[in-house]
Amino acid sequence: MRTAIAGVVVAAVVAAAGSAARGADGSADEAEVLKLDQRIADGVVRGDTAFVHSVTPADFVMVHGDGWTNGGKPLLTDTEQSMLRRVTTKYYDVLDFDSVKAEMHGDVAITYGRYLAHTTTGDDPGRRWFSVWFERVYAKRDGRWIYLSHRTVHGPTFGADRKSVSDK
């Protein structure tokens, strides 16, 4: 009887330790994932094509505009190649994320939230500032988080200045 109880206790301790270890790993991963969107955005803004290329796969997809969320056409769909051209040309000079949350699934992570952006190009000054709500998907491959997919789920909402889009 005593042996049986001891066995149960040991099993419980091992299980608890395993759970704690997974929790610690999971928390560390989540903390890292929550910084990914801004870290990659910083690379985009500084035109660091090598860095952005290193965190995106050949089958990367970025769907601009929320038209797809109800059967319409997206504004534009970037492949890795076309997205990297935006990086090289420093198409964006502001990409500031807020309200970012993560949904963790082991080696797959989903982030969602919002960013404010400003582009340096375009004929219409009233469309250079915009806000976007998004869902992104990442996968951990060879110990590194790789950015697979961006889909705009609301927006972009355009404005003439940062203030005009900061609550959109």
Partner 1 sequence: MTSRAGTLAAAVVVLAGAAAAVAQTPRPGGSSAPQHESVTPTEQAAEGKAVLAFEREIAAALVRGDVAYMEKAIAADFVMVHGDGWTHGDPPTLIDDRAGFMQRVSGKIYDAHDYDVQAAEMHGDVAVTYGRYVGYIPSSPPGRRWFYVWYQKVYAKRGGRWVYLSHRTVDGAHYGNDRRSVSLTE
* Shortest distance in whole angstroms from residue 7 CB to partner 1: 25
For partner 1, the closer CB: 68 or 158: 68
Q: For residue 67, what are the contacts with CB-CB under 8 A and spacing of at least 6?
A: 73, 74, 75
For partner 1, the closer CB: 10 or 76: 76
Interface ranges with partner 1 (CB under 8 A): 57-59, 61, 63, 66-74, 77, 79, 81-82, 85, 99, 103-108, 110, 112, 114, 133, 135, 137, 139, 148-149, 151, 153-154
For partner 1, the closer CB: 48 or 80: 80
**Residue 132 belongs to what H/E stretch?**
strand 129-141
For partner 1, the closer CB: 94 or 110: 110
Triad 90, 88, 121: Cα angle to 5°: 35
- Which of 117, 49, 110 has its CA nearest to residue 84? 49
